[in-house]
Amino acid sequence: MQLTQEYREKLDGALRRTGQRATRQREHIFSVLLGKRDHPTADEVYARARAEMPSISLATVYNCLEALSASGLVKQVNFEREPTRYCANLTAHAHFYCKESGEIQDVELSEQIIDLLKSCLPAGHTAHRIDIAFDGKCGECDD
Amino acid sequence: MQLTQEYREKLDGALRRTGQRATRQREHIFSVLLGKRDHPTADEVYARARAEMPSISLATVYNCLEALSASGLVKQVNFEREPTRYCANLTAHAHFYCKESGEIQDVELSEQIIDLLKSCLPAGHTAHRIDIAFDGKCGECDD
DNA sequence: TAAATAATAAGAATTGTTCTAAATATTGGT
DNA sequence: ACCAATATTTAGAACAATTCTTATTATTTA
């Protein structure tokens, strides 16, 4: 899995802007996330990363995921107390988690509905992030 | 902190309905949550509970909080990877977390907006729970 | 190219939570 | 009220995800 020129520039720029260095490992982890757009845990990213870079360590995977999150290229997704998952979809979206199949899906949200949610906040409060997670049954698992 | 008759009946009924027993410890933990309606972590609940019941153990606190959640009287609230927090507010509401003050506030949501959110789901998907967490600055911390 | 700085690797440490097993409490049937 | 059956509590060990530590290696800057 090679990063296209476009994504490499995006990555280098984003890292530099946040005072971080572009390294082979960070590039590789980014390409792993772009390569299969499910919502892997750090362990899963580690397993996929090792396929092409056997010497990478789990600590480095965490480190890279943190660097990518800090640079704004990757989002961390949490469901209750489960391991953090990572995704490279940067559009405003929520997540749907089907406990039956274990599958996680992105749910696109309009600006409109985000604004509507923000309007529920008490005066003076400013939200710089909104996390929305649905729990339920997906189409396949639903009776 | 004594449970009112009303709340004791609510508790006993809810526990019985979910096949669980009413115990001194569960009553006490419930009263702790009703007594101060912030969003304490298990450790904080433990500290408060011990004030009146010094022999209670942390494992029991976790156990009671789990029993109360299972019975539907208490909600678990998670912010990213932080320790789970517990609250006895059962109305549909979101949470606002101010990282500056550390304060957590309930944000009431209308049925309308919940329905609107549900309507964003792909066909066939049913949500049996929606978690909404705002991150930002609250009125006092905002410039 | 050298010096300064940042990132990596490997494993130890930490944190919040769950598990285990023995002791205790609660419940339902007499 | 009493006994047996079952659930809960306690204390501490175990666990899983993540972070930290330190020496080594890579990247950047001058």
Q: What is the pLDDT along chain B (143 residues), one digit of tens a residue?
A: 678 999 999 999 999 999 999 999 999 999 999 999 999 999 999 999 999 999 999 999 999 999 999 999 999 999 999 999 999 988 999 999 998 888 999 999 999 999 999 999 999 999 999 999 999 999 888 66
The candidate with the shortest Cα–Cα distance to B135, out of B102, B87, B111, is B102
Q: Do A121 and B134 touch (CB under 8 A)?
A: yes
* pLDDT (tens digit per residue) in A102-142: 899 999 999 999 999 999 999 999 999 999 999 999 988 86
Three-state DSSP class for residue B66: helix
Length of chain B: 143
The CA distances from residue B37 to A92, A99, B93, B106, in Å, are 32, 30, 14, 10
Per DSSP, what are the bridge partners of residue A131?
B133
Which of B125, B138, B143 to mutate to probe the A interface, most A CBs <10 Å?
B125
Q: CA-based Rg of chain A, rounded to a whole angstrom?
A: 17
**Cα–Cα distance, B32 to B90 (Å, whole number):** 16
The pLDDT value recorded for residue B75 is 96
Which of B84, B128, B137 faces A81 most closely, judged by CB atoms? Answer: B84
- At A1, the pLDDT band (50, 70, 90 cuts) reads low
The candidate with the shortest Cα–Cα distance to A12, out of A30, A37, A35, A39, is A30
* pLDDT (tens digit per residue) in A45-76: 999 999 999 999 999 999 999 999 999 999 99
Question: CA of B72 and C1' of D29: distance in angstroms?
Answer: 60
